[in-house]
């Protein structure tokens, strides 16, 4: 569903809420805090393009096989663990959430985040978008939703990420979101941090 203006979005939202018999309805510019359950596509005022609406869902016995079928591009496989590895790793990280990324009813990616047992900071360990669904803004929107989730937690901390020095795509994404590079980790990856007091871009 594509809208030409925010007025069109508002009219549709108002009609939709009436159809659901909502007594009140709200409209905000922030796609993270607004329409996650309803699948609305919002206009991005700063860039003039269509903002992506995604839903994060638990990986369960019903969808894990679909999850492990998702693959990054061939040139990205050196930068990220497979989803099979991620799901296995998650079983030994009780403070982590491993969520499937959905666009409409189609699974398009996986994200894993939680409190690292070594430093008690929130880390986003894994972000992968299937090769067939890249270039659509899904990675950026997924990160924004994860950041919002972490910041809403009572035990929120600064948010950490790490990525391969040659992974320019990850470096660009994290920079756009406001992460600041801290330097190279002992295991060779670049570490970056988003302060818990900063807003994601």
- HSE, CB side, 13 Å, CA atoms: give it for residue 17: 12
Query: Side by side, which strands form the sheet with 180-184?
Result: 55-58, 96-103, 106-115, 122-129, 159-163, 190-194, 180-184
- The pLDDT-based confidence of 144 (bands split at 50, 70, 90) is very high
State how far the Cα of 59 lies from the Cα of 67, in Å rounded to an integer.
8
pLDDT tens, residue by residue, 37-79: 222 222 222 333 344 689 999 999 999 999 999 999 999 999 9
Mean pLDDT over 13-24 rounds to 45
Domains of the chain, by residue range, sit at 1-52, 55-194
For the entire predicted model, the pTM comes to 0.73
CATH number of 55-194: 3.40.630.30
Q: Which residue has the higher pLDDT, 47 or 120?
A: 120
User: What is the pLDDT of the chain when averaged over all its residues?
Assistant: 81
The owner of tokens 């659901």 is 20
- Single out the residue of 40, 61, 185, 165 nearest to residue 123, CA to CA: 185
> What confidence score (pLDDT) does residue 107 get?
97
> What confidence score (pLDDT) does residue 21 get?
45
> What confidence score (pLDDT) does residue 53 get?
85
Q: Is 155 helix (H, G, I), strand (E, B) or coil?
A: coil
**Most confident region among 2-11, 45-54, 75-84 by mean pLDDT:** 75-84
Which residues are paired to 160 by β-bridges?
A: 123, 193
pLDDT at 13 over 90: no
- The pLDDT-based confidence of 149 (bands split at 50, 70, 90) is very high
What percent of the chain clears pLDDT 70, i.e. is strictly above it?
73
Q: Is 19 helix (H, G, I), strand (E, B) or coil?
A: helix
Q: With beta carbons less than 8 A apart as the criterion, state whether 160 and 135 touch.
A: no
Structure tokens, 140? 């950026």
> What confidence score (pLDDT) does residue 20 get?
40
Mean pLDDT over 104-130 rounds to 96
> What confidence score (pLDDT) does residue 14 get?
54
pLDDT at 138 over 90: yes
B/e letters for 65-95, b = 16+ CB within 10 Å, e = fewer, are: eebbebebeeebeebbeebeebbeebeebee
């Amino acid at each position: 569903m594509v809208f030409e203006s925010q007025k069109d979005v508002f009219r549709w939202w108002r009609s939709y809420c009436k159809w659901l018999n909502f007594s009140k309805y709200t409209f905000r510019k922030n796609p993270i805090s607004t329409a996650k359950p309803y699948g609305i596509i919002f206009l991005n005022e700063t860039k003039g393009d269509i903002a992506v609406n995604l839903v994060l869902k638990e990986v369960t016995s019903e969808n894990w096989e679909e999850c492990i079928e998702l693959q990054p591009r061939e040139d990205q496989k050196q930068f990220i663990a497979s989803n099979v590895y991620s799901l296995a790793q998650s079983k030994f990280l009780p403070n982590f959430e491993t969520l499937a990324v959905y666009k409409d009813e189609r699974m398009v990616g996986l994200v894993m985040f939680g409190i690292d047992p070594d430093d008690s900071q929130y880390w986003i360990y894994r972000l992968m978008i299937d090769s067939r669904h890249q270039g659509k803004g899904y990675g950026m929107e997924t990160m924004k939703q994860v950041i919002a989730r972490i910041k809403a937690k009572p035990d929120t901390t600064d948010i950490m990420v790490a990525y391969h020095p040659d992974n320019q795509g990850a470096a660009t994404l994290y920079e756009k979101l406001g992460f600041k590079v801290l330097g190279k980790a002992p295991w060779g990856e670049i570490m970056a941090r988003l302060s818990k007091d900063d807003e994601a871009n």
